[in-house]
Amino acid sequence: MNGPMPEFAMVLAAGLGTRLGPFTDDLPKPLVEVAGRAILDRVLDALADAAVARCVVNTHYLAPMIEAHLAGRTAPEAELSHEDQLLDTGGGVARALPALGARPFFVINADILWSEGPGGAALARLAADFDSQTMDALLLLVPLERSMGYDGPGDFMCDDRGRLRRRGRAASAPYVFTGLQILDPRLFGDCPDGAFSLNILYDRAIASGRAFGIEHTGRWFHIGTPAGLELASAALGAAPELRRP
């Protein structure tokens, strides 16, 4: 990377988590526990290990519970961005841009977990590979066969330089987007107002040759359903428990 590790991060935690019911009937998905620790805490622990100083966490569903959960957290320092109406991934990040600084920053989904593999920690590898001269977005990808809790056909293909291509009409693609990434603020130039998906901005960057991916070398868990939660909990050492606040 042409500079230091990103100092700021955005954690996307505003989703409803409806497919994860009954675990999310009275609990926001980021606070669901995997092997005894909330998903949100595991994500924030990884950011703290990467020396990220500050993060923005967007909220919507049962937002006061996330606010209370983060009240005693100091590393990284967490700022809340509450959405009265859901802004989707792109709109949520765009709203938080003033707090994310002028340099590239991490964006991480709050419904995924990962284990580190050979070659170093995922966030450090993203930072080391990000080149602001040639990239607006660098996504961490995992081979389809090493994704857990994901039942789709894959998201992306890459050329030999790591430039992304969509699956398009192909029956499958070799890589799944993990929900970990580094984005440059310029990606949001002339972005839509209100709610919109980051996919709109990825497609722009793909068209201009400025969207890249690197392969994650460890395991990756998508926690979108009870089955995905069970897989992640078993892999990380404990069965999921249905807890009520």
Domain extent listing, the chain: 8-236
Give pLDDT, residue 2.
44
pLDDT of residue 67: 96
168 contact partners, CB below 8 Å, separation of at least 6: none
**Between 88-100 and 198-207, two packed helices, what is the crossing angle to 10 degrees?**
80
Q: Which pLDDT belongs to residue 224?
A: 86
- Predicted pLDDT of residue 137: 98
Q: Are 58 and 12 in contact (CB under 8 A)?
A: yes
Identify the CA nearest to 179 among candidates 11, 4, 18.
Answer: 11
Q: Which residue, 15, 48, 50, is CA-closest to 31?
A: 15
pTM of the model: 0.93
Residue 221: what pLDDT? 93
Q: Is the dihedral of CA 142, 144, 148, 152 positive or negative?
A: positive
Determine the Cα–Cα distance for residues 239 and 231; give it in Å rounded to an integer: 9
- Whether domain 8-236 has CATH 3.40.720.10: no
Give every residue of the chain whose pLDDT is below 50, as ranges: 1-3, 241-245
- pLDDT score, position 236: 82
Res 237: pLDDT: 74
